[in-house]
Amino acid sequence: MKPAPFAYVRAQSVAEVFDHLEAHGDDARLLAGGQSLIATLALRLSAPALLVDINSLASLRFIERRGEAVVIGALTRYCDIENDPIVAQFVPLLAQAIPHIAHPAIRNRGTIGGSLAFADPAAELPACMVALEATLVVAGRAGERRIAADDFYQGMYATALGAGEMLVRIEIPAARANTRARLMEFSRRHGDYAIVGLAANGLLHPGGGFEELHLVFFGCGERPVRAAHAEALVLGAPGLPSHARLREAMAADLDPQSDLQAGPDTRRHLAAVLAGRALATMNRQ
């Protein structure tokens, strides 16, 4: 299908973006990589009056180590992240996640900020940011706000971004020597959205087991879902929990939707399988 008509501007500065957002409110949409937005336009799932193309804002495309954090500009493309040595060393969870996202032609174009702001509950990156305890920095006319990833996601495609604001960069705590990360997902084919996915990030305890652990599922609810009971189960015992125990924890942690691919019980089962496999490999690394 063809999109409904819209007007187009290519913003040359962040200030100009604020001008457009202020002038047009909800009628304007930001165009970053466009790999979700242009598809939704083609399907006429959305019909904004104005697209504000932010691809010329080169200052939002960077990956840097700043102190104990890795800072990534919102316009950084998946292909930049996929091949970046800083990410490979200091954000292994993100490095593992990128190859799961769609296909090379889409990764050449899609951006981290676009994915995070779109807030698709089945997408990898929002869950990674929650698991990494990343901070999302949004900017508006009044200045910047720093929002913890866990607070940023408020529901299906719903975020803490306010009117007139845009996501500008992401700050991720750099991995330490005992950080262990694992991204795993079940999908029918490579590049598909996951039926169930897991972003796991934790710190190994010198004496064995984990001293810190985040298990965050995607494709399992309206937003990235942290499995608090499963985390407590792992942190509270020396060895790794059995599948049966993880399965029990998932019953308390997850309330997944039913769709053509799987029902809630199947998803909880798969979540427990993923958690078991992820923990076993993280513990071994």
Partner 1 sequence: MSTLTPNPAAREVLITLQVNGATVTRAVEPRTHLTDFLREDLGLTGSHVGCEHGVCGACTVRLDGAIVRGCLVLAVQADGARVETIEGVTASGEIADLQEAFVCRNALQCGFCTPGMLICAAELLEKKPQAGRDEIREFISGNYCRCTGYEAIVDAIETTAAGRRKG
Alpha-carbon distance of 33 to 144, in angstroms, equals 22
Tokens standing for 68? 């104990």
Q: In the bound complex, what is the minimum distance in angstroms from residue 264's beta carbon to partner 1?
A: 27
Footprint of partner 1 (CB under 8 A): 1-10, 16, 19-20, 23-24, 31, 34-35, 38-39, 41-43, 49-51, 53, 55, 79, 99, 102-106, 108-109, 189-191
Task: In whole angstroms, give the CA distance from residue 284 to residue 220.
Answer: 27
CB of residue 47 to partner 1, shortest distance in Å: 10
Alpha-carbon dihedral sign for residues 285, 172, 32, 118: positive
Q: What is the nearest approach in angstroms of partner 1 to the Cβ of residue 109?
A: 5
Quick one: 105 or 252, whose CB is closer to partner 1?
105
Q: Which residues contact 205 (CB under 8 A, 6 or more apart)?
A: 178, 211
What does the block give as tokens for 86? Answer: 């800083």
DSSP assignment letter at 111: B
User: Smaller CB distance to partner 1: residue 108 or 261?
Assistant: 108
Structure tokens at 258: 């039913």
139 versus 233: smaller Cβ distance to partner 1 = 139
- The residue (of 21 and 63) whose beta carbon lies closer to partner 1 is 21
What does the DSSP assignment read for 216-249? EEESSSSS-EE-HHHHHHHHTSSSPPPHHHHHHH
CB of 70 to partner 1, least distance (A): 24
Judged by CB, which is closer to partner 1: 53, or 150? 53
Which residues on neighbouring strands pair with residue 172, listed in sequence order?
70
CB-side exposure of 261: number of CA atoms within 13 Å? 16
Shortest spacing between CB 44 and partner 1, in angstroms: 11
Of 104 and 155, CB closest to partner 1:
104
Minimum gap (Å) between residue 7 Cβ and partner 1: 4
Sign of CA dihedral 17, 23, 26, 27: negative
